[in-house]
Amino acid sequence: MLTTIEKIVFVALALVSAGFTVHGFKLIIDSIRKGRPAPELKNVPASLLNAGVKVLFQQTIFKARKALSAIHMGLFFGLITYAFVNLFDVLEGLVPGFDLVYGGAHIPNAPTGLINAFNLIADVMSMFLLVAITVFLIRRFIVKDKALDYRENILLNPKVKAGGQQIDSLIVGAFVIMHVIAHLMSQSYRLTNGAYPFMPIASFLNSIFGTSETGVHVAWWISIGWVMFIIPYLSRSKHTHFFMAPVTLGLAKQNPRGQLDPAIPLKVIEGQKFDPGAKFIHDLSWKRALDAYACVQCNRCQDVCPMNFAEGAPLSPSALEVNKRYLLKEATFGSHPDRLLLPLTETVISAEAVWSCTTCHACVSICPVGNEPMADIVDIRRRMIVDGAELDSGVQNALQSLATNGNWMSKGKRLRGRWAKEMEFPVKNATEEPVEHLWFVGDTASFDERVIPNTKMVARIFQQGGLDFGIMYQNESNAGNDVRRVGEEGLFEQLVEQNMQAFGKAQFKQIVTTDPHSFNTLKNEYPQFGGKFEVKHYTMTLLKLFEEGKLTVKNKLSNYKVTFHDPCYLGRYNGGFTAPRKLLEMLGVEFVEMPRNCENSFCCGAGGGQIWMGKVAPGERPAENRIKEALTTFGESTNEKTQLFIVTCPKDMVMYSDAVKTTGNEGKIEVRDIIQLVAEAVGVEEPVVAEAVAA
Amino acid sequence: MNIVVAIKHIPSIADDLPVKGNNVDFDSVDFVLNEFDEQSIEQAVLVKEAVGGTVTVVGVDVIGELDNVLHLALAKGADKAVKITGDDPAADSHQQAKWLAEAIKGLSPNIVFAGVQASNDLDGQIGPMIAAYLDMPYIGGVSSVEVSDHTATVNKEFAGGFGAKYSVSLPMVVGVQAASKPPRYAPISKVRQVAQMATIEKVAPSGGVSSGLSFKKMAPPVVTGHAEMIGGSSKEVAAKIVELLKSKGLA
Amino acid sequence: MSNDVFVITEHMDGKFSDVSFEMVGKAKELTSAWGGQAVAVVVGGGAASNIFASDATIHVDDAALSQFNPEAYGKVIEALVKEKSPRLVMFGWTAMGMDIAAWLSARTGKPCVAYARDLCIENNALIVNSQVYGGKMIAEVAPEGDMVIVACLAGSFAVEAGQGSTAATQIASPVALVGLKTKFVEAIKPAGGDVDITAQAKLVSIGRGIGSKDNVELAEELAQKLGATVSSSRPVVDAGWLPRTRQVGKSGLKVKPKLYLMLGISGAPEHLEGMKSAELIIAVNTDKKAPIFNVAHYGATADLFEVAEAMLELL
């Protein structure tokens, strides 16, 4: 179709374009390779293939925003189709007589049926593409969906702030529209024999504009010529997403969610010494640099982030990723390699934002491309701690107490078992006599006077169920889950060692925990330190006791209407969704599910060391929002049933009891630990011994 | 500048203290660094950072677990650690001060820091005693220290914001109430690193002295009165307090 | 050797501290059993020294003693006790006494008992009650030897028993005060502009339990609603969360308000010394075994933040 001169121009253009594209991707790959080693991945081809399937069926985006996800799907299939469309357009240009209209009538032995089918798909997909891209452009530029924005207090690269990504969106959006229209026009101008049923849209255009040889050339050049410009451009915009998303997904973390990457890469590289955590961008693993190129700032992570929700906190996981990409871009494509030597806390995320993360994992779980912004934040914390950054006074107090007392509450070690000594029956010391179940109680349940009644009730129920259990008294130390997530890796290791020593003294078959945070680290992280135990959360142990008939429900609790809050470290991290729900079902309560449940549960705001923070961001707190969600779920109160908010985490007990009060909802909803319901149903009561007033 | 910090490893009062005979049952308590020593270590490191020199931390190893404390001090910026193998949990301040003074003498200190007091200073604090044994001037209750040439300028606190500034020609002993800045946090990775690398100099105790006190009895205080306890939830407690205040015309 | 009891009094800006009178009263009680003299020792000028109920008062004055100087005061007291050999030397366990008592003990080789809260004579021997381990223990000790140094916690004895009108004998310094290494430079006054917590009728006082600097605001809010002022225990001030002027206790200020509402203060002796005579003491603490509950009039084991927030709503 093309004239010889046109062909020469095209080939020259294609070569230049390919050059820029290869150059662009080489720079990207170089910038990724500068990162630290990532934890080793097993069976990469299989996981890449698996990711490919996920991408093909667009599985990962449907976790949220269903309607927009459907449009994204349309866009995705449209672009895939257009990869072939463009290929055939090029062939039409270069190969004389190669022409797909009318089923490839001019091609000898052409598979007419196949070509017709392709033409139909391409024609219809063109329409899909136009609609999808228009919806996205309207959403961004006319409706101005707030979900695509960042709050004022969030650190943003100046170029992003100046609308860098908006321009990206506009350029690529405009390209798609022009490209698709030009392609349709080029096809319609070819329809010399009138309407062709497998190209309904092109045929319609043909009925208006007719045929034109010049038109074919002009439209072809607009359509394909544009591609020569846009492909190299993609490597320099957020649309690296097109290529990197499947790769990131395929190379995503394989270790359990609840196991943080080591602070220093395990892989030893000759002549390289790593400091723990990350100060500069290349202190992050190469995988996390790759994350930045896969992120297209859909901001789903921001939607689910409990601290983005709290208006005063300057945290947005997706801002972190876009800032990372701009930083890398300025250094590799731009003329600012020096910026790589600026601390991440100045370039990608503010120190305040770093310290506001609750490590709830919601951002990582929701991310369609398998990014881990939360892991970056923990790495930044790790280095800040090692570098002696000034810490929040509350955090410093907690860490100091953990280092000396093994608990964050400044209590003496020997006071850990005080609650057990007050019990009406002896509680075994697992470090002195063998037990089947070693109960790892945790700090809050051991020391907090508000939670101790529940702790004692757990002991009574275990006793009632004939469970052979014991605690480690002063030998137990904080398990270190939140210590690790606050970034104090050294202290975490120290606590692990202390607990491993204590476990070494004990004889037991499995560990049962009250605290989901302890549960997580014992289950997922202690194995790395040689502590391979069977670890259960008490809801699992209780369920088993019921299932084995060792506990029986005497009183059905039909007078309660309850909802259940999934603790992050039990639910999202470890999939412990069913045990508490089955228990509630057995107890005979009326159960209603909050909209944000299980995998999408909303963090109470206490994790990752937040419970220690002195400074709390102003505005509504996550726990307060959650209590309101529960009340909305209950709907108009009928006054017949007591409405309960059920928790299975000592920290939740503290956080939500507080939130009920601060939101002024006392009397409408009550926070209870599941053990309190179990006790009531099983018929175990607190002994009526007047507690001696403090001596 | 040779900066020395004399520290005390003492029973933790975060726990209940058991009694054995006429004294605390030292086998059943945890020992911790005297809280004022945390301040004095910080103050010593701040002085070093301001004028240079080395910080040597010296303590009596009363129960054989002083290494942890010394490692922490090294991680916070001390340069050298010395432990006196006293190995007697009942060693009183006089005895510890004497041993410390003997050990410190050899370090030719320009300035010696000690915590202003410790909760087990039944026979007085080690700071002024070390000063007496070394024949140096002592000022306690100090909340800031500046050193230039051979003079230290210290602020001593009396009470309620009143105080006095003194200039003292060195060497001297300073009893630290609070460092000029709150003590820093030492990352445990650093503490552990120090624990692996650092050598702690061991010194045999030298010089005997007695406090001249004989113990008749050691017991928790007899409680003479007790508050009327307000029970119930926090909200109920608050309501009762407010009611009480209103009834007394205080709210 | 005599059976005299020397009381090292202390004064500032022309006023003697309460503990000086308390000790003189106690000294008289002891000497009435021993048969010696209760001698008030006043070091430094600027204060009328004839106001003690002592059997005798020695007033040492010298230009070098015009301001408290631990080195000079120590030398004077050392020379005095070496010359007069009293049986007992009493100091206050105060900013001044703490600088000298233990030093004098090491200089003279005589025993010292700190944190003393009572002294008595049994079989002609002195027995001292001392409050150690942050008030968790009371030690009863018998000091040996012919001279004993005791440093007494303020507020242990009655002030009135020590008040009187004994004429003082003025003497010059028994040692030459030359070549002192310690020089007084200037007095430090409380940072201007802050409230005087000793003059407040109501105090909301916070302790370690407040957790962090940012939580102080909650106490401020509550205080404002109550028409009160925020004060604190020592750790809060040491952490820099409140200025020194707000510190109640031995190393802070002694207060006697109508209301002392304590949030998260466990009640270390150092703090109790500064507030135990408040008219109404209400303590909120999470530790049901906190010693403050032995001193407060009303107490609650509850979370201070919850209580404070609930109170804010009710006020």
User: Given a cut of 50, is residue A695 above it in pLDDT?
Assistant: no
> Token pair of A425, please?
């029956």
Identify the pLDDT of residue A310: 67
User: Given a cut of 90, is residue C281 above it in pLDDT?
Assistant: yes
- How far apart, in whole angstroms, are the C-alpha atoms of residue C162 and residue C40? 10
Instruction: Please tell me the least confidently modeled range out of A42-46, C86-90, C208-212.
Output: C208-212
Quickly count: other Cβ atoms within 10 Å of residue A190's Cβ.
25
Instruction: Please tell me the least confidently modeled range out of A236-245, A646-655, C191-200, C277-286.
Output: C191-200
**Strand blocks (E) in C55-196:** 56-61, 88-92, 112-122, 125-132, 137-143, 148-152, 168-172, 182-188
Contact with chain C for residue A616, Cβ under 8 A: yes
CATH 1.20.950 domain residues, chain A: 4-35+58-249
- How far apart, in whole angstroms, are the C-alpha atoms of residue A210 and residue A197? 16
User: Given a cut of 80, is residue A538 above it in pLDDT?
Assistant: yes
Residue C271's SS3 state is helix
Specify the amino acid at residue A226. W
Cβ proximity of B12 and B30 under 8 Å: yes
- Beta-carbon contacts of residue B23 (< 8 Å; ≥ 6 apart): B90, B215, B218
Q: Tokens 């500068």 label which residue? A: A34
The CATH number of B2-203 is: 3.40.50.620
The shortest CB-CB distance from B125 to any of C98, C132, C245 is to: C98
Contact with chain A for residue B195, Cβ under 8 A: no
Work out whether strand C182-188 and strand B163-169 pair parallel, antiparallel, or are unpaired: antiparallel
Cβ proximity of B128 and C106 under 8 Å: yes
User: Given a cut of 60, is residue B78 above it in pLDDT?
Assistant: yes
- From C250, C274, C219, C287, select the one nearest C95 (Cα to Cα): C250
What sign results for the dihedral spanned by CA atoms B48, B49, B50, B51?
Answer: positive
Identify the pLDDT of residue A542: 97
Identify the pLDDT of residue A639: 67
What average pLDDT score do residues A78-88 get?
94
B196 to chain C nearest CA, in Å? 31
Contact with chain A for residue C293, Cβ under 8 A: yes
The shortest CB-CB distance from A693 to any of B182, B229, B234 is to: B229
Cβ proximity of C187 and C67 under 8 Å: yes
C258 to chain B nearest CA, in Å? 8
How far is CA C42 from each of CA C18, C48, C221, rounded to the nearest angstrom? 14, 10, 45
A440 to chain B nearest CA, in Å? 21
- How far apart, in whole angstroms, are the C-alpha atoms of residue A551 and residue A545? 6
What sign results for the dihedral spanned by CA atoms B200, B204, B206, B208?
Answer: positive
Contact with chain B for residue C118, Cβ under 8 A: no
pLDDT digits (tens, 9 = 90+) for A439-493: 999 999 999 888 999 999 999 999 999 999 999 999 999 999 999 999 999 999 9
B95 to chain C nearest CA, in Å? 10
DSSP letter for each residue of B6-59: EE-EEE-SSSPPPEETTEE-GGGS-EEE-HHHHHHHHHHHHHHHHH--EEEEEE
- Average pLDDT over chain A reads 92
- How far apart, in whole angstroms, are the C-alpha atoms of residue A171 and residue C311? 58
> Token pair of A251, please?
């190379």
Helix (H) or strand (E) holding A673: strand A670-673
Identify the pLDDT of residue C71: 97
- Give domain limits for chain B: 2-203
Q: Considering only CB atoms, which chain A residues are within 8 Å of B234?
A: 661
- How far apart, in whole angstroms, are the C-alpha atoms of residue A177 and residue A175? 5
How far is CA C100 from each of CA B48, B76, C11, C89, C106, rounded to the nearest angstrom? 28, 31, 15, 11, 10
- How far apart, in whole angstroms, are the C-alpha atoms of residue A625 and residue A387? 36
Helix (H) or strand (E) holding B243: helix B234-247
DSSP letter for each residue of A397-452: HHHHHHHHHSSTT---GGGTTHHHHTSSSPPEETTTS--SEEEE--HHHHH-TTTH
> Token pair of A435, please?
């037990």
Max Cα–Cα distance, chain A, nearest Å: 103
The CATH number of A281-386 is: 1.10.1060
The shortest CB-CB distance from B188 to any of A396, A411, A490 is to: A490
pLDDT-above-90 percentage for chain B: 74
What average pLDDT score do residues C76-80 get?
97
pLDDT digits (tens, 9 = 90+) for A165-204: 899 999 999 999 999 999 999 999 999 988 999 999 999 9
What sign results for the dihedral spanned by CA atoms A117, A122, A125, A126?
Answer: negative
Instruction: Please tell me chain C's helix, strand, coil percentages from 3-state DSSP, rounded to the nearest 5.
Output: 35, 30, 35
pLDDT digits (tens, 9 = 90+) for A587-618: 999 999 999 999 999 999 999 999 998 777 77
Nearest CA in chain C to A695: C289
Residue B156's SS3 state is strand
First to last CA, chain A: 100
Q: How would you class B45 by CB atoms within 10 Å of its CB: exposed for 0-12, middle for 13-18, buried for 19 or more? A: buried
Q: Considering only CB atoms, which chain C residues are within 8 Å of A449?
A: 286-288, 301
Nearest CA in chain C to B144: C238
User: Given a cut of 60, is residue A218 above it in pLDDT?
Assistant: yes
pLDDT digits (tens, 9 = 90+) for A287-340: 999 999 999 999 999 999 998 876 678 999 999 999 999 999 988 887 888 889
Work out whether strand B213-219 and strand C137-143 pair parallel, antiparallel, or are unpaired: antiparallel
Cβ distance C136 to B220 less than 8 Å, yes or no, reads yes
A643 forms beta bridges with A561
Residue B78's SS3 state is coil
C205 forms beta bridges with C231, C262
Identify the pLDDT of residue B231: 86
User: Given a cut of 80, is residue A693 above it in pLDDT?
Assistant: no
Cβ distance B15 to A403 less than 8 Å, yes or no, reads no
Best B41, B185, B196 residue to mutate vs chain A (most A CBs within 10 Å) = B185
Identify the pLDDT of residue A691: 45
Identify the pLDDT of residue A638: 65
- From A51, A32, A35, select the one nearest A43 (Cα to Cα): A51
The shortest CB-CB distance from C226 to any of B129, B234, B251 is to: B251
Identify the pLDDT of residue C209: 84
Helix (H) or strand (E) holding C299: strand C298-301
Q: Considering only CB atoms, which chain A residues are within 8 Å of C303?
A: 450
A674 to chain B nearest CA, in Å? 19
User: Given a cut of 60, is residue A630 above it in pLDDT?
Assistant: yes
- How far apart, in whole angstroms, are the C-alpha atoms of residue A657 and residue A539? 20
Instruction: Tell me the count of A-B CB pairs closer than 8 A.
Output: 59
Q: Tell me the pLDDT band of A637, cut-offs 50, 70 and 90.
A: low
Cβ proximity of A510 and A494 under 8 Å: no
Cβ proximity of B16 and A411 under 8 Å: no
Instruction: Please tell me chain B's helix, strand, coil percentages from 3-state DSSP, rounded to the nearest 5.
Output: 30, 30, 40
Cβ proximity of A608 and A258 under 8 Å: no
- From C91, C238, A312, select the one nearest B35 (Cα to Cα): C238
Question: Would you say domain A4-35+58-249 falls under CATH 1.20.950?
Answer: yes
Q: Considering only CB atoms, which chain B residues are within 8 Å of C100?
A: 128
B15 to chain A nearest CA, in Å? 5
User: Given a cut of 50, is residue A694 above it in pLDDT?
Assistant: no
**Strand blocks (E) in B90-194:** 111-115, 138-148, 151-157, 163-169, 172-176
User: Given a cut of 80, is residue A636 above it in pLDDT?
Assistant: no
Q: Considering only CB atoms, which chain A residues are within 8 Å of B222?
A: none
**What domains are there in chain C, each with its CATH number?**
5-172 (3.40.50.620), 197-314 (3.40.50.1220)
CATH 1.10.1060 domain residues, chain A: 281-386
Contact with chain B for residue C287, Cβ under 8 A: no
Identify the pLDDT of residue A689: 53
Cβ proximity of C279 and C259 under 8 Å: yes
> Token pair of C131, please?
């409050």
Identify the pLDDT of residue C274: 87
Nearest CA in chain B to A417: B15
A497 to chain B nearest CA, in Å? 12
Work out whether strand A535-537 and strand A510-513 pair parallel, antiparallel, or are unpaired: parallel
Contact with chain B for residue C95, Cβ under 8 A: yes
What average pLDDT score do residues A359-373 get?
96
- How far apart, in whole angstroms, are the C-alpha atoms of residue B82 and residue B1? 17
Best C133, C212, C221 residue to mutate vs chain A (most A CBs within 10 Å) = C212
Cβ distance A414 to B16 less than 8 Å, yes or no, reads yes
Best A352, A391, A397, A444 residue to mutate vs chain C (most C CBs within 10 Å) = A397
The shortest CB-CB distance from C70 to any of B138, B240, B242 is to: B138
- Residues of C (36-65) whose Cβ lies below 8 Å from B: none
Contact with chain A for residue B22, Cβ under 8 A: no
- From B61, B75, B72, B82, select the one nearest B5 (Cα to Cα): B82
How far is CA B72 from each of CA A78, A410, A481, C309, rounded to the nearest angstrom? 62, 18, 23, 38
Identify the pLDDT of residue A414: 85
Q: Considering only CB atoms, which chain C residues are within 8 Å of B13?
A: 133-134, 136
Between residues C81 and B182, the one the model is more confident about: C81
DSSP letter for each residue of A528-574: GGT----EEEHHHHHHHHHHTTSS--SS--TTEEEEEPPPTTTTTTT
Nearest CA in chain A to B69: A404
Q: Considering only CB atoms, which chain C residues are within 8 Å of A615?
A: 212, 214
What average pLDDT score do residues A361-376 get?
96
Quickly count: other Cβ atoms within 10 Å of residue B156's Cβ.
26
B149 to chain C nearest CA, in Å? 14
- How far apart, in whole angstroms, are the C-alpha atoms of residue C86 and residue C31? 11
Torsion of CA A62, A66, A67, A73, to 10 degrees: 10
Identify the pLDDT of residue A692: 41
Residue C157's SS3 state is coil
Contact with chain C for residue A393, Cβ under 8 A: yes
Nearest CA in chain C to B122: C114
DSSP C162: G
What average pLDDT score do residues B159-174 get?
90
Compute the C-alpha angle A488/A490/A493, nearest 5°. Answer: 110
Cβ proximity of B185 and A388 under 8 Å: yes
Identify the pLDDT of residue C47: 86
- Beta-carbon contacts of residue A75 (< 8 Å; ≥ 6 apart): A128, A129, A132, A133, A136
